[in-house]
Amino acid sequence: MNITKDIYYIGVNDHEIDLFEGQFIVPNGMAYNSYLILDEQVAVMDSVDARFTQVWLQNIRDILGDRSPDYLVVHHMEPDHSGSIVRFAEQYPNAKIVASARAFTMMKQFFGTDFAERQVVVGEGSTLMVGSHELAFVGAPMVHWPEVVVSFDTKDKVLFSADAFGKFGALDVEEDWACEARRYYMGIVAKYGAPVQTLLKKAAKLPISIICPLHGPVLTKNLFYYLGLYQVWSSYMPEEEGILIAYTSVYGNTKKAVELLAEKLRAYGACKVTVTDLARDDMAEAVEDAFRYSKLVLATTTYNGEVFPFMGEFIRHLTERGYQNRTVAFVENGSWAPNATKTMKALLANSKNLQFASTDVRILSALSEESTARLDDLAKELTSASPCNACTLDSRSEKGYVCKICGYVYEGECLPADFICPLCKHGAADFEPIS
């Protein structure tokens, strides 16, 4: 597959995998992307998981025939991308290995060799000529490993972005980009918002036309949409107005309360209400939705004097990923000594800029008139100052305006003169029509 006249896709799809990184379910598999620049010299951009080495090497031969690559560029050393380096080096003994100094240290750890005689060490500001293509390297440490670099082909305006802008799913399966890209980002990258922000600022200075990530599809159109989502995600701001109710229930009484609360929220005009059973549903998707929406309701039983285990696990997933800038409400159940709300608030105590709802709901074993009334009060509180926002990033409308600073998209034919970007706080003067 041609990306441009000189750049080819040589990656592989993996439908054998059940858990990515040993924890994330991937019903549509994974893609391990690799690319090849064919010019007066040849550069192969990253390798693939070791289980697909032979397929990948054949992909190279299909394009080059008997010709040998001059370079293997290694942007990221995770084994799903570096697993075929040694076999490549054996197959093409004259090829140079291009990587950051930290990456070569990791090669020594993984493979027992750092290819000392074949190294081309690159970092921030380095360049590499591949015929008429110049690769400009940009440091991207902790996006999401410390050795990461990305590179920009100045001729074709292609950004080789390592794991940034990646997603779950093989390339031979049609599915929405944002859903699985969001789950991928929140599960794997979310902790490193500040490094992502640094990379986005560097990327903003480049005239990017195409993004080639190491997972997921090549991005060629409406790049403001993808850059804008990454700006939102890495700044820990809600992507859209909505409420996630995350609950655990032992004998069904907490579940009944959650279902009633969801009904009340919808009746009072909540834009979006999503309910997830933390014991049965995909935990990674629950984390994704918690970061996606502006409000979170945590409902659980008191268990061993604290909270039900799946709730504790969920909150730890949030806090270790930097959960912040949301409203959080609490519903607890207990037949004696209910303590879940106190425990949950303590688990969230170090999270930044969380606003706790003033209405806590306590259920003593099962719903009563009093606790039902408290649910009604909570529903009113959560919907009182949150009208549906039509100007979210959950659409790729062709009518609207995009912030030149951060990529936020305002949908509509007219941008108000006094409009202030909710992300970067710049005014209407820094917006331009979506082209």
Residues 194 and 309 reside in one and the same domain: no
User: Do the domain assignments include residue 391?
Assistant: no
Residues 255 and 224 reside in one and the same domain: no
**Cα→Cα distances 125→141, 231, 349, Å:** 14, 23, 41
User: Do the domain assignments include residue 185?
Assistant: yes
Residues 225 and 245 reside in one and the same domain: no
User: Do the domain assignments include residue 393?
Assistant: no
Residues 183 and 250 reside in one and the same domain: no
Residues 14 and 153 reside in one and the same domain: yes
Residues 288 and 145 reside in one and the same domain: no
Residues 202 and 263 reside in one and the same domain: no
Q: Alpha-carbon distance 75 to 83, whole Å?
A: 13
User: Do the domain assignments include residue 389?
Assistant: no
**By CB neighbour count within 10 A (0-12 exposed, 13-18 middle, 19+ buried), where does 389 fall?**
middle
Residues 199 and 257 reside in one and the same domain: no
Residues 255 and 213 reside in one and the same domain: no
Q: Alpha-carbon distance 161 to 166, whole Å?
A: 9
User: Do the domain assignments include residue 198?
Assistant: yes
Percent of the chain with pLDDT over 70: 95
Mean pLDDT of the residues in the chain? 93
In this prediction, residue 417 carries a pLDDT of 81
Q: Is the pLDDT of residue 398 over 60?
A: no
Query: What does the block give as tokens for 63?
Result: 């394009």
In this prediction, residue 396 carries a pLDDT of 44
In this prediction, residue 395 carries a pLDDT of 41
Q: Is the pLDDT of residue 403 over 90?
A: no
Residues in a beta bridge with 246: 276, 298
Q: Is the pLDDT of residue 435 over 70?
A: no
Pair 415, 404: CB distance under 8 Å:
no
User: Do the domain assignments include residue 270?
Assistant: yes
Provide the residue range defining the domain that includes 422: 400-433
Number of structural domains found in the chain:
3
pLDDT single digits (tens) 308-350? 999 999 999 999 999 999 999 999 999 999 999 999 999 999 9
Q: Alpha-carbon distance 291 to 232, whole Å?
A: 10
Q: Alpha-carbon distance 37 to 57, whole Å?
A: 15
Band the pLDDT of 407: cuts 50, 70, 90. Answer: low
> How much is the average pLDDT of 144-154?
97
Residues 351 and 422 reside in one and the same domain: no
More confident residue, 33 or 394: 33
pTM: 0.87
User: Do the domain assignments include residue 390?
Assistant: no
Q: Is the pLDDT of residue 383 over 50?
A: yes
CATH at 278: 3.40.50.360
The residue assigned the tokens 């100094």 is 101
CATH at 177: 3.60.15.10
pLDDT single digits (tens) 42-84? 999 999 999 999 999 999 999 999 999 999 999 999 999 999 9
Query: What does the block give as tokens for 262?
Result: 């969801």
In this prediction, residue 420 carries a pLDDT of 78
Residues 230 and 245 reside in one and the same domain: no
Q: Is the pLDDT of residue 425 over 80?
A: no
Last residue within a domain, chosen from 203, 234, 265 = 234
Residues 271 and 195 reside in one and the same domain: no
Out of 122-126, 130-134, 268-272, which region has the weakest mean confidence (pLDDT)? 268-272
User: Do the domain assignments include residue 95?
Assistant: yes
